Homo-oligomer: A and B are copies of this chain.
Amino acid sequence: MPEIAETAAEAVSAVHSGATVLLGGFGNAGQPMELIDALLDSEATDLTVVNNNAGQADAGLALLIKERRVKKIICSFPRQADSRHFDEAYRAGEIELELVPQGNLAERMRAAGAGIGAFYTPTAYGTALAEGKETREINDRNYVLEYALPGDVALIKALYADETGNLVYRKTARNFGPVMAAAAAHTVVQVEELLPAGALAPEAVVTPGLFVDTVTVIGTDSGTAAAKEHHPALRSQGSKTTTAAEGA
């Protein structure tokens, strides 16, 4: 059973300085903004962050970078119209960048979660992003060796959790969540609602509870949108224990 954290601050207390933190989300969808804000309010520094991007505008990850608390970022697409804090830190030589093609990034975390030490991927063969890496020809195709990318802590966002930690997501907000939950030693999830065990249909669970260590309930736009629909994982007999409004 996961720990239920009353506040986002408590939920992110597992992130220690020097940790590798996997941050979920693709754009705003699935981004655990409130957990990242809590991380910003914490003392944690000297972080290695894995995220698809490198922060946008003056919020969340961008502010962590602005405060120089991210020593290294592992991502696929740092440069964006509003990535000015990353751009500045990078040009100043004050942040290390490991640029990884998006699919290799996802697969490296998937490998970490699945106990695979390394794998041969065709992506990036012959490009600058494979320079210095081992290659191998298998059945007339060329591959690059990539290693598993585990995290100390994952901060992700899901739609519903049940008390056993089972998670379901909403639409394209699923993105990196399930992969990061499995790849991290400690997984922290912000959800719109926490439901009793048995409220989620076992066929429709996306992230089984054994990947989840801490759950905290935070209402966002996703919950508002979900309230207008019937999510298929919700069993009709499942009554809600904590709604976003009642919760932290």
Give residues in A with beta carbon < 8 Å to B. Answer: 107, 111, 114-122, 136, 138-139, 141, 143, 147-148, 168-171, 201-204, 231-233, 235
Contact = CB atoms under 8 A, between A and B. Distances in A.
The prevalent SS among residues of A at the interface is: mixed
Oligomer copy total = 2
B232 A201 contact: yes
A227 to B, nearest CB: 15
Contacts of A170: 203
Contacts of A168: 203
Nearest to A116: B119
A117 B141 CA distance: 8
A233 B201 CA distance: 9
A182 to B, nearest CB: 14
Nearest to A110: B114
A111 B119 contact: yes
Nearest to A148: B138
Contact of A232 (B107, B119, B143, B204): B204
Given A201-B232, A203-B232, A204-B232, A115 B119 contact: no
A205 to B, nearest CB: 9
Contact of A115 (B118, B121, B148, B232): B121
